[in-house]
């Protein structure tokens, strides 16, 4: 499986994502610039954390107009797995690939620590290697991770099982303790915690590796079926 790590001006977790895929997962991966005009050769798309375009205006608000985002949307519509982490999640929200918006943390402070997440849905292409209701340890590092959406959207997310991860202690004030959601089709995941920083026990947790293993397993199974 071949992954693309999208690099925006201000991305700073692209190296972590690259390492997770190449060295821990053992899959092919390349950096792809924000001005790229095609993602056709890639099987999975990864939007890393950081401060794209300096987070001016709103987090992710400028990055969503980058040339490559047209290709990310096309990849999502084609059913390819698209993962946005932290700033990547914010960009997916701004681009309309996921519902809702991000606000500043309830404490108005930047938070950087390991948190516990509950796996709410292990029947997605991103979570099939987890057990339902698993509690995993993944680090967060954000100032604007307070996920918000209206009541109607929350009910729709719950009805469609789109809430994939929730916080056990809700460090940022997110509505319904949400830490990660998918689109209705289930091939686009946005999450504030950083699974790429939890892929080896030397980092304090290897829980995040199962997310990437899930992507590869489901991609391979689907291609064997379609072969």
Q: According to the model, what pLDDT value does residue 225 have?
A: 62
CA atoms within 13 A on the CB side of 18: 11
Average pLDDT over residues 5-13: 96
Average pLDDT over residues 157-167: 98
pTM of the entire structure?
0.96
Average pLDDT over residues 117-137: 96
Q: According to the model, what pLDDT value does residue 132 have?
A: 87
CATH number assigned to the domain with residue range 2-226, chosen from the 4 options 2.40.10.10, 3.20.20.150, 3.90.1150.10, 3.40.50.880: 3.40.50.880
Catalytic (active site) residue 149: no
How far apart, in Å, are the Cα atoms of 48 and each of 25, 123, 134, 161, 215?
16, 23, 24, 24, 16
Q: Judge whether residue 150 has pLDDT over 90.
A: yes
- 3-state secondary structure (DSSP) of residue 138: strand
Q: According to the model, what pLDDT value does residue 227 have?
A: 54
- The percent of residues in the chain predicted with pLDDT above 90, rounded, is 92
Instruction: Report the mean per-residue pLDDT for the chain.
Output: 96
Average pLDDT over residues 21-45: 97
pLDDT digits (tens, 9 = 90+) for 50-103: 999 998 888 999 999 999 999 999 999 999 999 999 999 999 999 999 999 999
Q: According to the model, what pLDDT value does residue 222 have?
A: 87
Average pLDDT over residues 176-185: 98
Q: According to the model, what pLDDT value does residue 223 have?
A: 80
Q: According to the model, what pLDDT value does residue 58 have?
A: 87
Q: According to the model, what pLDDT value does residue 226 have?
A: 61
Cβ–Cβ under 8 Å, residues 45 and 74 = no
Tokens representing 82 are 């698209």
Catalytic (active site) residue 86: yes
| SS3 per-residue string spanning 5-68 | EEECCCECCHHHHHHHHHHHHCCEEEEEECCCCCCCCCCEEEECCECHHHHCCCCCCCHHHCHH
Catalytic (active site) residue 194: yes
Confidence of residue 23 (pLDDT cuts 50, 70, 90): very high
Catalytic residue among 13, 86, 94, 120: 86
Cβ–Cβ under 8 Å, residues 181 and 163 = yes
Q: Judge whether residue 144 has pLDDT over 70.
A: yes
């Amino acid at each position: 499986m071949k992954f693309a790590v999208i690099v925006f001006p201000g991305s700073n977790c692209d190296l972590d994502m690259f390492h997770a895929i190449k060295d821990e997962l053992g899959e092919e991966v390349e950096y792809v610039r924000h001005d790229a005009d095609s993602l056709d050769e890639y099987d999975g798309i990864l939007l890393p954390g950081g401060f794209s375009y300096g987070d001016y205006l709103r987090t992710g608000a400028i990055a969503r107009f980058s040339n490559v985002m047209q290709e990310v949307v096309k990849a999502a519509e084609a059913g390819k797995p698209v993962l946005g982490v932290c700033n990547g999640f914010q960009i997916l929200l701004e681009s309309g690939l996921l519902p809702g918006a991000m606000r500043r943390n309830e404490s108005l402070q930047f938070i950087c620590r390991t948190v516990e997440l509950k796996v709410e849905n292990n029947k997605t292409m991103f979570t099939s290697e987890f057990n339902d209701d698993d509690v995993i340890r993944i680090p967060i590092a954000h100032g604007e991770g307070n996920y918000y959406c209206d009541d109607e959207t929350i009910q729709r997310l719950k009805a469609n099982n789109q809430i994939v991860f929730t916080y056990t202690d809700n460090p940022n004030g997110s509505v319904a303790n949400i830490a990660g959601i998918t689109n209705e089709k289930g091939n686009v995941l946005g999450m504030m915690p950083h699974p790429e920083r939890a892929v080896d026990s030397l980092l304090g947790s290897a829980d995040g590796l199962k997310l990437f293993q899930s992507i590869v397993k489901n991609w391979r199974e689907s291609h064997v079926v379609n072969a």
